């Protein structure tokens, strides 16, 4: 059973004053706060730099995907700004000169409001990633006509609605029994009254991050399989009528999957570090101040914003220390080439070798991962001379 920090239970009575004075004298705790404060500011700068570069390159992105990417950026910025306020407030409280030790404490409702903003941003990032995964699954199921289906307002409504619902549930789990007028030493969410609710919230975050990571891998493998089929011209007649649309959408799905596999993986990894680091600190560290320092140090889920920005910059080839500009995606290359060059490049990408043998007939049920996606039905009365040839 996991055991998380319960500061209001540990720091009762005279111990609260002693521990508060020890934290104020702890250079390690202040250094951790300064480090996390600097990292939060750096994350905001990275997000702005990534957004500026993406806008400058005028990348062609489907409206449904674009609105989800903007939601993730907004939630990442909200998360970083919240932690800048939290860490800045903590650093100020423990660095200022006071006459009475209790002046370093704040009311519990101050920390609850700040942490609730962080919880909303955290849930929003994970839900946006999950909706993006579902959106990519739908785009893979309808390759031929997905580029003509744009519902950004509906996507935004679903994202905001699910975020609000999940945030309300999180508030009920973590802050229902909080004594909001009580003085609190550290700006922690976990306490003796919400141990179970806090564990459920972390398990939900960890599980959702893992599910999104698995979905991203499945989407990439699925579209890679479709890419091979299209390259080998394993298409039924219904699909050949929309061959250009299918080629374009597969290419777009692969680019999105390559971008979000590392994002979802590192987001999941940060939650693993948070949960097991906190558990290990509470199990093996007896000194209260050192345990609080370690708990603060491993609380790194806000770095998912850094991961998002760095992965986006890497895909664009815009990281200052990376000169491999060949990783730029097709939508960016479109801004630097003519229409004819774009079609020639797409044709060269999907065309297979010219010396491949021809088959006179390939059953459509063996060509596509899901037979019901393909609407091709060959007529029984069709003569052999009219059967379309396929390359394999």
The pLDDT tens digits for 53-102 are 887 766 667 888 889 999 999 999 999 999 999 999 889 988 888 888 77
Q: pLDDT tens digits, residue range 171-201?
A: 887 777 666 677 777 766 665 566 677 778 8
Least confident of 153-162, 259-268, 366-375: 366-375
Q: Are 147 and 249 in contact (CB under 8 A)?
A: yes
- Own/partner pairs for 337-344, CB < 8 Å, 24+ apart? none
User: What predicted TM-score, i.e. pTM, was given to this entire model?
Assistant: 0.75
Distance CA 58, CA 53 (A): 9
Q: Which of 86, 87, 90, 93 is nearest to 112 (CA)?
A: 86
Q: pLDDT tens digits, residue range 3-31?
A: 333 444 344 445 777 888 888 888 999 99
* Per-residue tokens: 35: 């480090």
Angle subtended by helix axes 27-57 and 288-297, to nearest 10: 10
Alpha helices per DSSP H over the chain: 7-10, 14-25, 27-57, 63-95, 108-141, 152-175, 195-231, 237-240, 243-284, 288-297, 304-316, 330-334, 339-350
CATH number for the domain running over 7-334: 1.20.1070
CA distances from 344 to 231, 245, 246, 390 (A): 14, 15, 16, 21
Q: pLDDT at residue 377 above 60?
A: no
Angle subtended by helix axes 304-316 and 243-284, to nearest 10: 150
The phi and psi torsions of 106 (rounded to 5 degrees) equal: -125, 160
Q: How confident is the model at residue 217 (pLDDT cuts 50, 70, 90)?
A: very high
pLDDT, greater one: 128 or 299: 128
* Per-residue tokens: 223: 């579209």
Q: Would you call 316 helix, strand, or coil by DSSP?
A: helix
């Amino acid at each position: 059973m996991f055991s998380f920090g319960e500061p209001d239970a540990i720091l009762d009575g005279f111990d609260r004053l002693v521990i508060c004075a020890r934290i104020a004298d702890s250079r390690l705790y202040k250094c951790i706060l300064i480090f996390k404060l600097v990292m939060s500011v750096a994350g905001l700068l990275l997000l702005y730099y990534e957004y500026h570069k993406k806008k400058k390159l005028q990348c062609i992105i489907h409206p449904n995907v674009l609105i989800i990417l903007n939601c993730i950026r907004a939630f990442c910025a909200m998360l970083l700004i919240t932690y800048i306020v939290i860490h800045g407030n903590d650093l100020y409280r423990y660095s200022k000169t006071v006459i009475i030790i209790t002046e370093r404490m704040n009311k519990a409702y101050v920390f609850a409001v700040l942490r609730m903003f962080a919880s909303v941003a955290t849930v929003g990032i994970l839900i946006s990633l999950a909706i993006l995964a579902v959106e990519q699954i739908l785009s893979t199921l309808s390759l031929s006509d997905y580029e003509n289906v744009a519902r950004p307002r509906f996507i935004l409504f679903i994202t905001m609605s699910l975020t609000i619902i999940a945030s309300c549930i999180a508030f009920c789990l973590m802050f229902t029994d909080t004594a909001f007028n009580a003085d609190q030493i550290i700006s922690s969410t976990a306490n003796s009254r919400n141990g179970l609710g806090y564990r459920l919230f972390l398990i939900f975050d960890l599980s959702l991050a893992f599910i999104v990571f698995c979905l991203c891998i499945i989407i990439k493998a699925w579209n890679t399989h479709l890419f091979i089929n299209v390259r080998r011209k394993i298409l039924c007649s219904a699909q050949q009528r929309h061959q250009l649309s299918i080629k374009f959408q597969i290419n777009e799905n692969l680019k999105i999957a390559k971008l979000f596999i590392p994002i979802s993986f590192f987001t999941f990894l940060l939650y693993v570090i948070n949960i097991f680091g906190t558990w290990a600190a509470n199990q093996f560290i007896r000194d209260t101040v050192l345990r609080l320092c370690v708990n603060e140090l491993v609380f790194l889920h806000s770095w998912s914003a850094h991961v998002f920005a760095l992965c986006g910059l890497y895909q664009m080839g815009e990281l200052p220390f990376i000169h491999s500009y060949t990783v730029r995606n097709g939508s960016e290359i479109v801004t630097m080439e003519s229409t004819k060059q774009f079609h020639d490049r797409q044709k060269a990408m999907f065309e297979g070798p010219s010396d491949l043998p021809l088959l006179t007939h390939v059953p459509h049920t063996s060509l596509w991962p899901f037979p019901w996606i393909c609407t091709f039905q060959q007529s029984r009365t069709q003569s052999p001379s009219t059967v379309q040839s396929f390359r394999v």
